[in-house]
Amino acid sequence: MSNTTLRSPNPWRASTAASKPRKLGQLKKHESKWAYLFISPFFLMFLVFGLAPVIFSTYIAFFNWDPLGDTVFVGFDNFTYLASDSRFWQATGNTFAIWAFSTFPQMILALFLASVLRNPKLRAPIFWRTLLLIPNITSVLAVAIVFGQLFGRDFGMFNVLIGFLGFSHVDFVSNGPAGYIAIATMITWRWVGYNSLIFLAAMLAIPNELYESAELDGASRWQQFRYITLPGLRNTITFVIIVGTIGGLQVFAEPLTLAGNFNGGDSRQFSTLTLFLFEQMFVEQKYGYAAAIGIAITVIVLIISLINFMLTRRIASEGAK
């Protein structure tokens, strides 16, 4: 009789199991409504402050737009004029020069700092990681003003050091290549800590067993970094390059502070794409032409991001072979 009791199904348990999927389905449906409600503010903000300005900017790029006067449809004239505007191409060259001087040294320094922070023997790691974020939360304008004083022609600290070494002072304002280095130094100082923490997070995700096995096989620190760390950071490096490219093409406060005007200097040596856009919109009040510049910047960012993505996928596929 006890065996019969053990083998007989439990009607309460069966009814509970039968009703459980129905309750779970109702619960998921109920929770999904709240989920849509909670994420709706983001989409509303994106539609109002993200998508709507993009659509409106694309629309006015085909007009000679005057918000207080007559608006004339000009078709692709703004884009045609942009392609032949030497100021636009000079601003593009300046932007890419500053981007090159800041992105690649910044990545090397960020990788080095992340490797140092990954050391398990490092004392007070949380303190050092927090310290790296201080430049990133500092006001951009304050950073630009301080570095503008450091790169001063007569009494700046860098020129004092250059004079101490026996060289003549460098005018970082009137000298284009020297000014690129000054602006790139500001950008690097502000973002190297942030990128170091991104690389550190990716490094911590790499299993320690790989390093232990490599160390037992006699691999040096450099070999471990080259054959274990770098392959594990491919996707992170792609992310940092793409984000750095987007940020580098939008650099604004640093060249503005160093040049002292929206033209980017007397000979437009520091005029970047965003400075040129700001000048055309708020100084020249050419709203349609400024919108065309914004579309051109977006296209440039998309092209470079696609190139970075394709190169990284190719490197990853070759590494997998």
In terms of C-beta density within 10 A (0-12 exposed, 13-18 middle, 19 or more buried), how is residue 219 classed?
middle
pLDDT digits (tens, 9 = 90+) for 4-15: 444 445 443 444
Mean pLDDT computed over 96-109: 90
pLDDT of residue 34: 79
pLDDT of residue 234: 83
* Residue 28: band (very low, low, confident or very high) from pLDDT cuts 50, 70, 90: low
Mean pLDDT computed over 224-230: 87
* Residue 318: band (very low, low, confident or very high) from pLDDT cuts 50, 70, 90: low
pLDDT of residue 287: 92
Q: Is the pLDDT of residue 152 over 60?
A: yes
Q: How far apart are CA 269 and CA 256, in angstroms?
A: 11
Mean pLDDT computed over 5-28: 47
* Residue 321: band (very low, low, confident or very high) from pLDDT cuts 50, 70, 90: low
pLDDT of residue 93: 93
Q: How far apart are CA 175 and CA 170, in angstroms?
A: 8
pLDDT of residue 30: 63
Q: Is the pLDDT of residue 21 over 60?
A: no
pLDDT digits (tens, 9 = 90+) for 182-210: 899 999 998 999 999 999 999 999 988 88
Mean pLDDT computed over 158-183: 86
The overall average pLDDT reported for the chain is: 83
Instruction: Give 266 or 60, the one with higher predicted confidence.
Output: 60
Top mean pLDDT of 91-105, 134-148, 162-176 is at: 91-105
Mean pLDDT computed over 239-265: 84
pLDDT of residue 169: 85
pTM over 0.85? The answer is no
Mean pLDDT computed over 287-312: 87
Q: Is the pLDDT of residue 56 over 80?
A: yes
Sign of the dihedral through C-alpha 262, 84, 182, 154: negative
Q: Is the pLDDT of residue 26 over 60?
A: no
- Which residues are CB-neighbours of 187 under 8 A, at least 6 positions away? 98, 102, 106, 247, 248, 251, 254
Indicate the DSSP class of residue 122.
-
Q: Among candidates 260, 295, 290, 263, which has minimal Cα distance to 277?
A: 290
pLDDT of residue 19: 45
